Amino acid sequence: MTRTPDDTSRPVVIGVDSSTQSTKAAVTDAATGALLALGRAPHTVTGTNGTRESDPETWWTALTDAIADALHTAGVSPHQVTGIAVAAQQHGLVVLDAHGRPLRDAPLWNDTRSAPQARALTDTLGAAAWLARTGSVPVASMTATKWRWLRENEPRTADAAAAVRLPHDFLTERLCGQALTDPGDASGTCWYSTADGRYDPVLLDLLELDADLLPKIAPTGSTRAGTLTASAARDLGLPPGIPVAVGTGDNMAAAVGLGLGGAGLLDHPVISLGTSGTVFAATRTRPAAADLAGFAATDGTYLPLACTLNCTLAVDKVAALLGLDREATAPGDGLVVLPYLDGERTPDLPHAAGLLTGLRHDTTRKQILGAAYEGAAFTLLRALDGLLTACGTDPADPAAALRPLRLIGGGARGHAWTETVRRLSGRPVLLPQETELVALGAAALARAAATGEDPVAVSTAWGTGRSRELPPVEADTATWQRIESTLTRATPTLLS
């Protein structure tokens, strides 16, 4: 929803959400956090059979188009813009030449070709050593495995690299000319130590990656990377010198948008229903569990996260195959669908395919679609149980079981997704009033870059995390147990 500014001279900030599929630019009232306009521009993702790549130059084009769209729609002057920040999809590998131009398309987080490299890296040091250093065990999503894949399969490209960046690093550097990253997004590379807050020299040696190719890490609490260069200002139609934030990864920005700090384990864990599905919580505890990504947050605390590759995109694909609207569902009623259409990350099944079992003569299309929702929601809720356990909370504890879940992302706007999560979890559900939390989190980072404020305090004052609560319903334990039993039996086959 867009809102008309009361005063055309009022300062605004721009928060950019550069995701897998598109760029969104939120022109936001710097004082109130009101979303004045949201510009959009699509990305192109190519590849089959585990390959998922995008040309980073198209991200820059999409960013400029989305900002132009948002400024036009909001009806604000470019001179009202007082800060810009980029939050972007995590883990993508951007390799640049000496002029800052991409040497090849960037393998994305959901590119699974580096699964063999992930296994080899894990075996070399052992899972415990990786957890102690990075908080995570390498899987095909992590940037380190993609670099190893490049080293082994395209050594000339790796040798020619003058810079290695994450997607948000690449865009931020284009904006301000500074090679600077933040601890949150850096923690998703598997070459950054969450224990020490720096790039790990032992891991860099193992990966054959020169630290000089990487951006500097911004100090904890630092939000400003630099100011808008003259070149970027021309591309964007903005005045040069506008403060540019360090920025972060999309999950970290969503946490900022929700106003999540690191005071302790979150009472309301977050489930993000997007192209991928994620569960995360803000905490001062540094968890180390093999099925979690032990990310850092933007403020030097922690944002442990579990990610599934197959969420809304996979369920929408099942709906399309069945010729159904995504809301045309019914409970699975004995069916199980494990919608691992692109392999899976949690559980770590990079070569898995989708599975349908329990089909009968009287099975309906709506039941098959409902079972796909159930399979995707089960995978996320099971990952959430692991996250809570790693952070010292028993998910079976009655008090913990009644704590609400925050649902965000595109799926949170769908009735079928919301009701499936309620039915399988038996927990209350909080639905934030704002839907563009990544972009609004980035907008809070943009204001912080301009003013020196704490970005979580900014978003809290703006109230971007306000939510409405849906009461719990009785947990559907029969469906849960049916899916869990099927996954246990099928895992040896899915691993092959």
Q: Which residues are catalytic?
A: 250
Contacts with 88 (C-beta within 8 Å, 6 or more apart), sequence order: 16, 17, 18, 19, 59, 166, 167, 168, 171, 185, 247, 249, 250
Q: What are phi and psi of 257, to 5 degrees?
A: -60, -30
Assign residue 417 a region (left: φ > 0; alpha: ψ between -120 and 50; beta: otherwise): alpha
Residue 165's DSSP bridge partners are 94
**Largest interatomic CA distance in the chain:** 67
Give which of 225, 195, 189, 194 is closest to 209, Cα–Cα: 189
Give which of 214, 208, 113 is closest to 173, Cα–Cα: 214
Answer whether 43's CB lies under 8 Å from 110's CB. no
Look at the block and give the residue holding tokens 């950019």: 16
Provide the pairing of β-strand 106-107 with 53-54: antiparallel
Give which of 437, 106, 105 is closest to 271, Cα–Cα: 437
Give which of 454, 427, 434, 426 is closest to 268, Cα–Cα: 427
CA-CA distance, 205 to 121, in Å (whole number)? 12
Contacts with 338 (C-beta within 8 Å, 6 or more apart), sequence order: 352, 354, 355, 375, 379, 483, 486, 487, 490, 494
Total count of residues recorded for the chain: 496
Q: Which helix (H) or strand (E) holds 94?
A: strand 94-96
Can you read off the two tokens belonging to residue 425?
């979890």
Answer whether 404's CB lies under 8 Å from 429's CB. yes
Q: Which helix (H) or strand (E) holds 117?
A: helix 115-125
Give which of 329, 331, 347 is closest to 277, Cα–Cα: 347
Assign residue 190 a region (left: φ > 0; alpha: ψ between -120 and 50; beta: otherwise): left
Look at the block and give the residue holding tokens 């089960």: 378
From the CB of residue 486, how many other CB atoms can be counted at a distance below 10 Å?
A: 19
CA dihedral 369, 375, 381, 387 (to 10 degrees): -140
Answer whether 408's CB lies under 8 Å from 3's CB. no
- Nearest-Å Rg of the Cα atoms of the chain is 22
Angle between helices 312-322 and 365-390 (to 10 degrees): 170
